[in-house]
Structure 1
Amino acid sequence: MEFRYLGNSGLKVSEISYGNWVTHGSQVEADAAQACVRAALDAGITTFDTADVYANTKAETILGDALQGERRESLEIFTKVYFPTGPKGHNDTGLSRKHILESINGSLRRLQTDYVDLYQAHRYDYETPLEETMQAFADVVRQGKALYIGVSEWTTDQLRAAHELAVELKVPLVSNQPQYSMLYRVIEAEVVPTSRELGISQVVFSPIAQGVLTGKYKPGAELPAGSRATDPSGGADFIKRLLTDDVLTRVQALAPIADGEGLSMAQLAVAWTLQNDNVATAITGGSRPEQVTDNAAAAGKKLSAESLAAIDEALGDAVVSDAGLTADTSPKTRLV
């Protein structure tokens, strides 16, 4: 495993991190989830990402259980706040002071830790003044409940405004968590250059495009049983837009490129995101330990210029790169 600094901070994180979105508490049973966390630890992964909304708080509980007995100082634990949780009442969502201060306490209790290394705003909240949100995050840091703060899927204007307040409040805003993969590159034109300027790293999710970049989904073929695409608890909704014959045919053309680099297709996809020096860590998941181990082996892999060019040629116009799509990820009104 190799390590990178998170933003303009002294905190190092593992290049490959383990996240439990969709899987823990829904797609994967607790014993299988614990086996995946153990595989991550065995592979040298020290950074773990979750959120209170995943499986409506169950994912945090499962991760907390799985990490018990590990030296806390040797781990970097990330979680997030914004989406509706619990009974989903009128204050059980968003980035109000009330919801943030109550949510961090719930997350710490479920994760069985006194603090998280990174506390992230899961989306931008258009219904709460940004000053209120940032002051609440600053208080969480000063109370010792989080060491650093981050955001997820924020636009460049939102990042600049948050950074200005973070400097004023003297709290470390160090990261943004966007979707990023060979097939989805919307952050490259605007978010990445702005983040470099502000000292913010990307903590990227879906580097394998929900499993599509592994090549296991074949054009015209039946969906593999037990795969993300057949998950009725939500996983299928996130992947269906990628399951077109055009995209899947182009993905199959990546196989010889991976072979030439001595990598599996999943490793090629994860390694590709890490060629971007603004990416601090790529969040990978897995429903089986062997998937976790395979993904982790992408750490430290440097792809040749020829391979990078061949990837672009193979995927062609299947790549999504519209910078304006980031603005569409945060709901304009709260989801309750």
Structure 2
Amino acid sequence: MKHRHLGASGLKISEITYGNWLTHGSQVENEAAMACVHAALDAGITTFDTADMYANTKAEVVLGDALRGQRRESLEIFTKAYYPVGPLGPNDSGLSRKHLMESIDGSLRRLGTDYVDLYQAHRWDNATPLEETMVAFADIVRSGKALYIGVSEWTADQLRAGAALAKELRIPFVSNQPQYSALWRIIESDVVPVSRELGISQIVWSPVAQGVLTGKYRPGHAAPAGSRATDGNGGAEMISRFMRDDVLERVQRLRPIADELGLSMAQLAVSWVLQNDNVASALIGASRPEQVHENVRASGVIIPPELMSRIDDCLGDVVERDPAKTVEESPVR
């Protein structure tokens, strides 16, 4: 397992981060979740990402239980706040000082740790002044409850504004967590250049495009039983943007490239995002330990420039590149 610096900081994280969105506390039983976390540890993954809203706080509990007994100094544990948790009261969501101060304490309790390595704003909050949010983050860092600050799905302008306040407050603002894959490249034109300038890395989610880049979905065929595309609890909705025959047909053209590199389609997808030097880590989830073992093989893979160009040619115009799509990822409260 290779490690990379997170932003311009001295913190190193594993190129593959284990995340538990849509799995722990909901789709995967606790015993299976425990096995997946232990498989990640055995594979050399040191970085684990969660959020308080995953399974309405249950995912943090499961992850904390799975990591109990591990040497805390050898791990990088990340979590996030913004989305509603609890009984959905008026202050149970957002990036207000009240919600963040209460959220960090709840996350630490559920995770069974005194601090998180990275505390992230899960989305941009249109209803709270940015200065209020960043001062709260600064107080959380100075209290020792978080070591670094990050965000998720912020636009280039939002990153620039947040970084300016972080610099003024002298707190380490080091990361953004966007969706990014060979099919979803909306961060490349604006977010990545600004992030490089500001010393911010990307920790990318959905590098296999909700499973579409594994090649298991074929044009003109029904989705496999039990796959995410058949999940009525949100999975099918998330993957729907890619479930078009023109996209699926283009994805199948990647198979010879994966074969040439001696990779599975999933490994090709994960290694593709890691070719971007602004990406510090690719987030993977798993419902079985075998999925962890497969995906970690993407760490350290170098895809030659000519094959990167062939991937572009194979996918053609089905790739989404519009940077305005980032705004759609942040709900208006």
SS of the residue corresponding to residue 298 of structure 2 reads coil
Match of 1:167 in 2: 167
Match of 1:209 in 2: 209
SS of the residue corresponding to residue 77 of structure 1 reads strand
Q: TM-score normalized by structure 1?
A: 0.98
* CA distance in 2: counterparts of 1:23 and 1:215, whole angstroms: 21
Match of 2:195 in 1: 195
SS of the residue corresponding to residue 150 of structure 1 reads strand
Match of 2:222 in 1: 222
* CA distance in 2: counterparts of 1:322 and 1:69, whole angstroms: 44
SS of the residue corresponding to residue 233 of structure 2 reads coil
* CA distance in 1: counterparts of 2:109 and 2:216, whole angstroms: 38
Q: 1:222 deviation in Å?
A: 2.1
Q: 1:237 deviation in Å?
A: 1.3
Q: Does 1:239 align with 2:236?
A: no
Match of 2:253 in 1: 253
Q: 1:319 deviation in Å?
A: 0.2
Q: Does 1:148 align with 2:141?
A: no
SS of the residue corresponding to residue 138 of structure 2 reads helix
SS of the residue corresponding to residue 323 of structure 1 reads coil
Match of 1:325 in 2: 325
Read off the aligned partner of 2:154 and give its amino acid letter: W
* CA distance in 1: counterparts of 2:32 and 2:243, whole angstroms: 27
Q: 1:332 deviation in Å?
A: 2.1
Read off the aligned partner of 1:199 and give its amino acid letter: G
1:188-237 residue CA offsets vs partner (Å, 9 max, x unmatched):
00000000000000000000001110011111222112211122222111
1:247-274 residue CA offsets vs partner (Å, 9 max, x unmatched):
1111111110000011110000000000
Identity %, equivalent residues: 70
Match of 1:281 in 2: 281
Read off the aligned partner of 2:245 and give its amino acid letter: D
* CA distance in 1: counterparts of 2:225 and 2:110, whole angstroms: 32
Match of 2:304 in 1: 304
Q: 1:183 deviation in Å?
A: 0.1
SS of the residue corresponding to residue 13 of structure 2 reads strand
SS of the residue corresponding to residue 313 of structure 2 reads helix
SS of the residue corresponding to residue 101 of structure 1 reads helix
Q: 1:84 deviation in Å?
A: 0.4
Q: Does 1:69 align with 2:69?
A: yes
Match of 2:112 in 1: 112
Match of 1:272 in 2: 272
1:158-212 residue CA offsets vs partner (Å, 9 max, x unmatched):
1111101101111000000000000000000000000000000000000000111
* CA distance in 1: counterparts of 2:330 and 2:17, whole angstroms: 24
Gaps of 5+ in 2: none
* CA distance in 1: counterparts of 2:297 and 2:71, whole angstroms: 23
Q: 1:81 deviation in Å?
A: 0.3
Read off the aligned partner of 1:254 and give its amino acid letter: L
Q: Does 1:295 align with 2:298?
A: no
Read off the aligned partner of 1:300 and give its amino acid letter: G
Read off the aligned partner of 1:210 and give its amino acid letter: Q
1:277-332 residue CA offsets vs partner (Å, 9 max, x unmatched):
00000001111111111011100000011210111111111100001111221112
* CA distance in 1: counterparts of 2:146 and 2:178, whole angstroms: 20
Match of 1:38 in 2: 38
* CA distance in 1: counterparts of 2:158 and 2:222, whole angstroms: 42
Q: Does 1:89 align with 2:97?
A: no
Gaps of 5+ in 1: none
SS of the residue corresponding to residue 297 of structure 1 reads helix
Match of 1:129 in 2: 129
The number of residues matched between the two structures is 333
* CA distance in 1: counterparts of 2:241 and 2:186, whole angstroms: 16
CA contact (8 A) 1:27 1:233 kept: no
* CA distance in 2: counterparts of 1:71 and 1:318, whole angstroms: 44
Read off the aligned partner of 1:25 and give its amino acid letter: G
1:44-66 residue CA offsets vs partner (Å, 9 max, x unmatched):
10000100011111111110111
SS of the residue corresponding to residue 110 of structure 2 reads helix
CA contact (8 A) 1:26 1:233 kept: no
Large movers: runs of 4+ above 2 Å: none
SS of the residue corresponding to residue 125 of structure 1 reads coil
1:128-184 residue CA offsets vs partner (Å, 9 max, x unmatched):
000000000001101100000000000111111110110111100000000000000
Match of 1:262 in 2: 262
* CA distance in 2: counterparts of 1:241 and 1:325, whole angstroms: 12
